[in-house]
Structure 1
Amino acid sequence: MRTARVFTGTALSIAAVALAGAPAVAAGTFEKLEVSPGSVQPGATVTVSTTACGRDGAGTGDASAVGGPASFQLKTGTHKEVVVGQFKVPTSAKPGTYGIGVNCKNGREATGDLVVTKGSAVSPAPSTSSPAAKPPQGGMKTGVGGASESGSGTAEIAAGAAVLTAAALGGTWYLRRRESGDRV
C-alpha cells in the first residue's frame, strides 16, 4: 500500500511538471516574427524582423496570405542578430488578420500576424478650402506590445515546475514519515 502511494505521488508530480511544460512543447519550432506596424491599411509598407535566423543570418519571407509577395528577402539589420525585410500590402487586400512567415537559411522558422484594416494607406491630400479639416489627434498605433508580452515565459514555467517538484518531494517525505510511525 505504501509503495502504491509513493508511486502515485511521483506519477502525479511528473504529470504536473509535464503539463507545466506543455505550452512550450505545443508552440512547436516556430519563433516570433515582429511585424511593424502590426495594423495597417491596404497599400502600406510593412517591416518584419526576427532573431530566429541567428547572428549574421538571412531568410526568405512569405506574405502571400495577405496577397503580398510569396518571397521577399530578410537580411542582417543594424543589429547583427536580427534579420529585417519589407513588403508592401496590396491595395486590394481585404480587412482581416493574416499570418506572415519566414524560413531562415539555418532551418528555423518564425511567424507573426498582420492586421489589415479598412481603407487605403494612400489618402488624398486634404482640401485647403475646407474649414472642417482638422489635424490628426490621438496616439499612434505602432503595433508594439500585445498579449504575447504578458504570457508565461521560460522563467515562470521553470519556477512553477520547481514549486510542483518541491511539493511532491514534501508530500513523499510526509507519507514516508507517517508510514514509519514517526510523528511530525
Structure 2
Amino acid sequence: MRTSSILTGGALVLAAGFGLAAPASAAANPVVIQPNPVAPGGQFSVFDGGNCKGKEGLATFKTGATGSDIPTVKLATLKNEVGGVGTVPASTKPGAYEVSVVCDDGKGNVEGPFTGTLTVSAAHPKGAVKTGLGGTQSTGTNLAAGIGALGAAAVGGVWVMRRRGASGQA
C-alpha cells in the first residue's frame, strides 16, 4: 500500500471522528440514505448526494453529542456516486442519528463533512399477523381446519360428479 493512501485514509478517519474537516458549503446536497427509516438488524445504503469529487470516503453516525453503535461505513464508487452499504446492529435504539460523510478528493484533500439523518425505527414485531381468517396464519389448528374444509369440498365434488355420471344426467 502506498504511503499517500495510508496518510489519506488516516486523514479521513481523523476528519470523520473529530470533525476536523472544513464545513460543507451551503449549496451541498444532503447525504442520501436508502431505505430510511431502517429497523434494527436491517441493511441500508448511504450515498454522498453527489458532493464528493473523489472515489472514496467514510460515513459516521452519532446521536446528539455522543457516538452510536452503528459502525462506520467505508464508501467507494457505487451507482455513479460515492456510497456504501451498512447494517444497523440489532441492539440499536430507535431514533434519529446524524450521518456525517467525508471524502478524499483524489488529491489527498478532505471534502465535507456532508450531513444527513438516518432514522432507526422500532424493532420488527414477532409472530403472526392477527388478521382474521383472510391473512397469513401460523397456528396448526387454523391450518388443519382450512385443509379439512378443502378436502371436504373436493370429496363432495367428486361424489356429485360420480352420481351425475351414474344416472346419465349431463
Q: Could you state the TM-score of these two structures normalised by the residue count of structure 1?
A: 0.47
Q: Aligned residue for 2:111? A: 108
Partner of 1:99: 98
Following the alignment from structure 2 to structure 1, what is the Cα–Cα distance between the partners of residues 99 and 73? 11
- Matched with 2:58 is 60
Q: How many Å separate the matches in 2 of 1:108 and 1:45? A: 26
Q: Which amino acid in structure 2 is aligned with residue 108 of structure 1?
A: E
Identity, in percent, stands at 28
What's the Cα RMSD here? 3.1
Shift of 1:32: 1.3
Structure 1 residue 87: Cα displacement: 1.0
Count of aligned positions: 103
Structure with higher Rg: it is: 2
Instruction: Give 5+ residue unaligned stretches, structure 2.
Output: 1-23, 129-136, 144-170
Segments of structure 1 that go 5 or more residues without pairing to the other structure are: 1-25, 133-184
Contact 1:29 1:108 survives alignment (8 Å): no
Deviation string 1:33-64 (CA, Å, 9 cap, x unpaired) is 1011110111101100121212x521111135
In the alignment, the residues of structure 2 paired with residue 130 and residue 40 of structure 1 have an alpha-carbon distance, to the nearest angstrom, of 35
Question: Runs of 4+ in structure 1 displaced over 2 angstroms?
Answer: 26-31, 63-66, 123-132
Quick check: 1:39–1:114 contact (8 Å CA) kept in 2? yes
Paired residues of 1:91 and 1:120 also in contact (CA < 8 A):
no
Q: 1:130: how far off?
A: 7.0
Q: Could you tell me which residue of structure 1 aligns to residue 79 of structure 2?
A: 78
Q: Judge conservation of contact 1:30–1:111 (CA < 8 Å) in 2.
A: no
